[in-house]
Structure 1
Amino acid sequence: MFNMCLWRIAMERTGLLFRLTTDDRDELLKIINSAITAVKQNKNAGYSAGMVVTSTAVQEIMAKTEDSTLLDKFLELSTLCKSVLAVRMQPNQKAQIIELVKTATKNITLAVGDGANDEPMIRVANVGVGIAGLEGTAAVRASDYAIAKVALSSYYNFDMLHILQNGLLSLSSFWFGLFNGFSGQVEFFFFCVFN
């Protein structure tokens, strides 16, 4: 799923991606403030933003404290981003994020999931999309809309790139052999292209 977010931002060609992965409250606040500033500065230039948030960061953001600055700033950044990706989270944490955005902003929320761990998030969202896959159909049963599979052409392009790389690498050795008459001359070009 993380690669899908990167793929989506890359396809727009102008994208900002922010990662909230730490559990330090002060560092999270600093990252969120700089992200909000960057999004606001680049909004008129046609940039879009995406955010990836982990379980440890959400745990710190949702912690019950008297100072709700971090929660308010997280909510502001969430509404500025086109997509928020929740990775390595417990099902209830995903649902908490959706519930927070839904109640605080009155915006319509969309949740996309492919497994049983995404079911609470899909149920809480205004619009839920379930993807049937290897993890079963729990997300599909909880969703408003179901998708049979996700066709990512970039995945296949990545495989094709490797096939072409290996083919060109092998063909260069073949042409080198033809050029030197298969004399046993060592080809050092092979070492340069390998990785």
Structure 2
Amino acid sequence: MATVTVSTSSEKEFASSYLTLLSLGETKFPSDYKKDLKDVRGLGVKLPNLPIAKKSDSSKHSAISNATLHDCVFKSIKEPKFNVTLQVKSTDTIYQVKTDLCKSVQADVGSLEPSQIKLLLKGKVIHDSSLISDIAQDDNSEVKFTAIVGTPSTTPAQVSTPEPEESTEVAIPWNEIEQLLKSKGIDSKAIIQRLQDGWELTK
């Protein structure tokens, strides 16, 4: 009886090749496959999103409650002239102050718009977005403004309409032209008629 001898090296090569083929193949699981919970790692429980906390308006209310009062003096340097003192809050903007100023002087100088008024402090124009607290040096201090009242920005500019120029009629010496054509031996009547028709079209 013959005995087949298989070398150990051949077995190792076969096993290595077989494992390599297995690693290249895609593992397919049945549709009802479920992984054992013991082997499941790193999966946490999904928690609901935390509600976003709304920003509190406490800082705004705090700024309003801490607002100080200032006496503001407004003196215009040209017509319409006025000299008014108003009490305003430190949290008021220059635009709000202008609005109050327009209401205050309306009875004396007539209706004004905030856009017509420029307020100057020490020769510098103060922007509408500036706060009184940014201008006043100390709490409850008096602020003196110089006011310049301009024309309303909404007033349309008057455009002057130029008067039409009077046209001056040019006299054409048709007789002289006809005599010149005759002296050259040219049929002057036909040419003169064509020239006159063309001249009439240019008017």
Name the structure with the higher helix share. 1
Q: Do they fold alike, i.e. is TM over 0.5?
A: no
Quickly name the TM-score band, shorter chain normalised. under 0.3
User: Based on CA coordinates, which of the two structures has the bigger radius of gyration?
Assistant: 2
Q: TM-score, normalised by structure 2?
A: 0.18
Report which structure shows greater RCO (CA 8 Å, sep ≥6): 2
